[in-house]
Amino acid sequence: MRISTTIFLTDETISPVRLARELEQRGFAGLYLPEHTHIPVSRETPYPAGGELPREYARTLDPFVALGQAAAVTERLGLGTGITLITQHDPIVLAKQVATLDHLSGGRFTLGVGFGWNREEAADHGVDWSTRRELGRDRLDLMRALWAPEPTAYEGEYGDSVRASEVWPKPAGGAPRVLLGGAAGPKLFAQIAAQTDGWMPIGGRGLTESLPVLREAWEKAGRDPATLQLVPYAVLPSPGKLAHYAELGCEEVVLQLPSGGEGEVLGVLDAYARYL
């Protein structure tokens, strides 16, 4: 099972370049970065984990810029987002960013997508919260049209469209691996089966009960059961927890690093080395 990591990189933490080099040298499989464009101070939406919103949420680096730095100083390290707030992007521009990063990194990019939790942040991007899932579905389909080998037009139900166009570069393998994040449920599982390569559940709790439901939706959509990818995300590890994920068929797990300086982060990497 591959052991990757995630961290809220900010203007106050270890740098992307230093972290990426240390991860590759130590044998970790990948680096995934979260995204928030801004955090409105009105804070009407409660923090899902409860309590005060941690400081790093308002200070996150742009994941694509940071991962571009990480790609430039590594050769094998996987790169990914966990997650890209897909409804908060112009999908034509996002498709170009994804394709460019995947092309320049030699196919090392995983696009983790999701719909977020902060209604005020989404509203500032013009997102109607009630239709965010459907809008996200349309935007991912539009992006796939731009990654297609031949010029392909797309017109969505929620206002996004693109003419048949010449657009290069293409992602290294035709399209990056796409994982969808979010809480277990029939709507999410149907969307995973229809559009993506698998599920990126935060924390990994309840997988024993949820996985059979996801597999049923996957097979109902005509997908090959062997191709479903399950990547538990932002996990605080223990030997028993990781062994359980391996038994469930997970080929990769993403461990949470603290949003801290070099000394703190590298110390945690030393502790996590036992799981490699």
User: Distance (Å, rounded) from C-alpha 207 to C-alpha 232?
Assistant: 9
List of residues 6+ apart from 205 with CB closer than 8 A: none
User: Distance (Å, rounded) from C-alpha 143 to C-alpha 100?
Assistant: 13
CA distances from 94 to 26, 137, 264 (A): 31, 14, 33
Residue 126, classed as helix, strand or coil, is coil
pLDDT on residue 203:
86
What digits encode the pLDDT tens for the residues 5-60?
Answer: 999 999 999 999 999 999 999 999 999 999 999 999 988 899 998 999 999 999 99
- What DSSP assignment string belongs to 201-252? -BTTTTHHHHHHHHHHHHHHTT--GGG-EE--BSB---HHHHHHHHHTT-SE
- For residue 18, count CB atoms less than 10 angstroms from its CB and return exposed for 0-12, middle for 13-18, buried for 19 or more: middle
> What is the length of the chain?
276
pLDDT on residue 205:
80
Residue 72, classed as helix, strand or coil, is helix
Percent of the chain with pLDDT over 70: 100
What is the pTM (predicted TM-score) of this model?
Answer: 0.96
Contact indicator for 123, 74 with CB cutoff of 8 Å: no
pLDDT for 72 beyond 90: yes
| Mean pLDDT estimate for the chain | 96
pLDDT on residue 206:
87
Domains of the chain, earliest start first:
2-275 (3.20.20.30)
pLDDT on residue 107:
98
What digits encode the pLDDT tens for the residues 233-244?
Answer: 999 999 999 999
